[in-house]
């Protein structure tokens, strides 16, 4: 993490390639999102904790997650698995790394902050949902971020961040990096969330320039 006093790390990306499924409200799409988040959680656990070496990983599921989701999470290979519906994990030593998949309630975020800032555990949040400006402190690290940027109802670019690298605005067609930014210039004040307006403007400008070039040929 960028701040040793706040070992709270976040990863945010579309769990599904079909963006229209992420907000259509259907049960089928919701189940596909859950499956994709669990699949990423399994890979993350395997990448963090090596067999016979460690460190131990405690997998946390949201207090709003279904019983079926919590049950599936138990099969991902973590050292322990706790549903926040049953309360915060107890007795964790500081060397245990916590992975919280798809938090969506105030209780979820408060638990993550307490584990990181009070207990001293490293906490990785995967695809947090229903966040407000106070959900995750500005001292937290956005370790991985991928946000498709749309224009004219299609994906025209991306805002990408792989910490400790800069935030990059990338044109989806040309793959050109239109701008690179650091935390001080792109994050909304007091949060670890980027302001998308400048990236969106650059993508729109690039899209327009490409359209003009194509018309002039």
Q: Which helix (H) or strand (E) holds 158?
A: strand 154-162
- State the pTM of this model: 0.89
Counting beta carbons within 10 angstroms of the beta carbon of residue 105, is it exposed (0 to 12), middle (13 to 18) or buried (19 or more)? middle
State how far the alpha carbon of 128 is from the alpha carbons of 11, 112, 156, in Å.
Answer: 8, 11, 24
Per-residue pLDDT of the chain (217 residues; tens, 9 = 90+): 888 889 999 999 998 876 555 555 677 888 899 999 999 999 999 999 888 788 999 999 999 999 999 999 999 999 999 999 999 999 999 999 999 999 999 999 999 999 999 999 999 999 999 888 889 999 999 999 999 999 988 899 999 999 999 999 999 999 999 999 999 999 999 999 999 999 999 999 998 888 888 887 7
Output the CA angle 171-175-181, nearest 5 degrees: 60
Residues 116, 5: Cα–Cα separation, whole Å: 8
Residues 117 and 9: beta-carbon distance below 8 Å: no
Residues 66 and 52: beta-carbon distance below 8 Å: no
């Amino acid at each position: 993490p960028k701040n040793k006093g706040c070992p709270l790390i976040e990863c945010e990306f579309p769990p599904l390639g079909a963006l229209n499924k992420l907000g259509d409200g259907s049960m089928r799409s919701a189940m596909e999102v859950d499956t994709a988040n669990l699949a990423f959680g399994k890979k993350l656990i395997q990448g963090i904790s090596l067999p016979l070496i460690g460190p131990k990983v405690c997998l946390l599921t949201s207090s709003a997650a279904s019983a079926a989701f919590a049950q599936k999470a138990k099969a991902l290979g973590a050292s322990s698995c706790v549903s926040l519906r049953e309360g915060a994990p107890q007795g964790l030593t500081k060397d245990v790394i916590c992975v919280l998949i798809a938090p969506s309630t105030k209780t979820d975020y408060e638990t993550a902050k307490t584990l990181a800032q009070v207990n001293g555990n490293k906490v990785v949040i995967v695809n947090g949902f229903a966040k407000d400006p106070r959900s995750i402190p500005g001292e937290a690290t956005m370790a991985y971020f991928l946000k498709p940027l749309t224009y004219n109802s299609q994906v025209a670019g991306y805002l990408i961040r792989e910490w400790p690298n800069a935030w990059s605005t990338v044109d989806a067609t040309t793959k050109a990096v239109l701008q690179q930014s650091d935390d001080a210039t792109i994050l909304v004040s007091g949060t670890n969330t980027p302001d998308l307006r400048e990236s969106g403007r650059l993508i729109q400008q690039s899209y327009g320039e490409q359209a003009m070039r194509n018309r002039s040929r």
